Amino acid sequence: MSHPPSKPLVASKSNPLQGRLTVPGDKSISHRALLLGALSLGKTRISGLLEAEDVLNTAKSVSALGAPAAKTGETWEVTGRGVGGLRQPDGPLDFGNSGTGTRLMMGVLAGHDFPAELVGDASLSRRPMARVLDPLKSMGLEVDGDNADRLPLTLRGMADLVPIEYELPVASAQVKSAILLAGLHAAGKTTVIEAEPTRDHTERMLRFFGAEVTATPDEKGRTRITVTGNPVLQGRDVKVPADPSSAAFLIAAAVIVPGSDVAVEGVLVNPTRTGFYLTLCEMGADLTFENEREEGGEPVADIRARHSALKGVSVPPERAPSMIDEYPVLACVAAFAAGDTVMHGLGELRVKESDRLAATAAGLEANGVSTRIEGDTLTVYGGSGNVKGAGTVATHLDHRIAMAFLTMGLASENPVTVDDTAMIATSFPEFVGLMQGLGAILGPAAGASG
């Protein structure tokens, strides 16, 4: 899958951003709703599904595996085949740029005795898959490929996987989720042990669909998450809350653009996903969580943000799993803070859609913000509200790099240009339109095509 021609975009200093709005559904929950709907009996109806490329590729893949996923009116319906009931696809399953869709699907395919080829775009094909595949292979998955930890790969599962007990070497919700999904196809109990909490959407949704899942602390302070194999899952009605990673850009813009007051409604506030908002509050941001409630087993709230004077903080490494996708935009916010912001434990950023750690630092430096990388630690030297701008940011086909620096440009002294925005459609196709609706000044670069 290739992206359309590059679309450079310029963000310019904006007047106060004002408004109440919603952002598209959470990407993590959208992927899981489609996959668990496919493994359930009967129909699963999903409202608020994120209709971005990454999720639509998962919908196409479950359809190709014999569990049709289609939109009817405002609701998506998945006709499930039950645990172990998917069929061999007629061709490759193309996940485009989606690491989440790919890795979770590996867990699903591990329980099916047929070959299936997984492919992706150039960026996804560079991303390592070994840490997902290794535990799945110990359960019985067979893997065939020229380079057996990069796409394209052909997988062949087995109907009766071996249950395992696996301690995560690195905190990763994707690895945990792939093992738990594979565990649905294993006789007995499959356990994942995590030393640091990671997003728990898979566990919550497995329970919601009828699986037996437990999470218990052990004597070493770790958490043991266990799923019992061969459940009968039943189709459910799922309401997908607004994606906190998408909302982060709008909230960040409100905090750094003087005079702004913005509210984003119905945002997922699962504690495994709110590290960015916690950090903003520590920096002095004026954030309030209103109308807190629960929907579909997940906590949600309306988040209101106003322009704030910020101070630099130290972000501990154990917070990384709860905000791994938000570090680029946090770094851009930190550029406006008084003092230094030090972010620890960012090794995971090196294996995202791009080397996000290097790309974030380079983008800041290009716009007059001093940074320092030492190992897995990024330090941003804040300018007390002043960022020069005037630079061009290389996005490396990474949607979050593009959106983070467009956000920064709304409060910079001079416009900020990003070299490509085509890939924003993979996660947040409404980004530019919603920002402009709040009053943001975003427009094509001079002489840009497409």
Q: Which of 26, 200, 302, 325 is catalytic?
A: 325
CB atoms within 10 A of CB 140: 20
Question: To the nearest whole number, what is the mean pLDDT of the chain?
Answer: 94
Q: Which domains does the chain have, with CATH numbers?
A: 9-25+241-444 (3.65.10.10), 27-239 (3.65.10.10)
- Examine the pLDDT at 450 and tell me if it is beyond 70: no
* pLDDT class of 349 with cuts at 50, 70, 90: confident
Work out the average pLDDT over 43-52.
95
* pLDDT class of 148 with cuts at 50, 70, 90: confident
SS (H, E, C) the chain: CCCCCCCCEEEECCCCCEEEECCCECHHHHHHHHHHHHCCECEEEEECCCCCHHHHHHHHHHHHCCCCEEEECCEEEEECCCCCCCCCCCCCEECCCCHHHHHHHHHHHCCCCCEEEEECCHHHHCCCCHHHHHHHHHHCCEEECCCCCCCCEEEECCCCECCCEEECCCCCHHHHHHHHHHHCCECCEEEEEECCCCCCHHHHHHHHHCCCEEEEECCCCCEEEEEECCCCCECCEEECCECHHHHHHHHHHHHHCCCCEEEEEEEECCHHHCHHHHHHHHCCCEEEEEEEEEECCEEEEEEEEECCCCECCEECHHHHHHCHHHHHHHHHHHCCCECEEEECCCHHHHHCCCCHHHHHHHHHHHCCCCEEEECCEEEEECCCCCCCCCCEECCCCCHHHHHHHHHHHCCCCCCEEECCCHHHHHCCCCHHHHHHHHCCEEEECCCCCC
Task: Single out the residue of 21, 19, 434, 24 nearest to residue 241, CA to CA.
Answer: 24
Q: Could you report the per-residue pLDDT of 59-82, keeping only the tens digit for each?
A: 999 999 999 999 999 999 999 999
Worst-scoring range by mean pLDDT, 10-14, 170-174, 248-252? 170-174
Tell me how far apart the alpha carbons of residues 252 and 259 are, in angstroms, rounded to a whole number.
Answer: 13
User: Quick check: 274 and 265 in contact, CB under 8 A?
Assistant: no
Which tokens is 282 given?
């520590």
Q: Could you report the per-residue pLDDT of 248-283, keeping only the tens digit for each?
A: 999 999 999 999 999 999 999 999 999 999 999 999
Q: Is 54 a catalytic residue?
A: no
**Amino acid letter, residue 197:** P
pLDDT value at position 5? Answer: 66
Q: Could you report the per-residue pLDDT of 95-141, keeping only the tens digit for each?
A: 999 999 999 999 999 999 999 999 999 989 999 899 999 999 999 99
Please tell me which residue, 13 or 352, carries the higher pLDDT value: 13
User: Quick check: 74 and 118 in contact, CB under 8 A?
Assistant: no
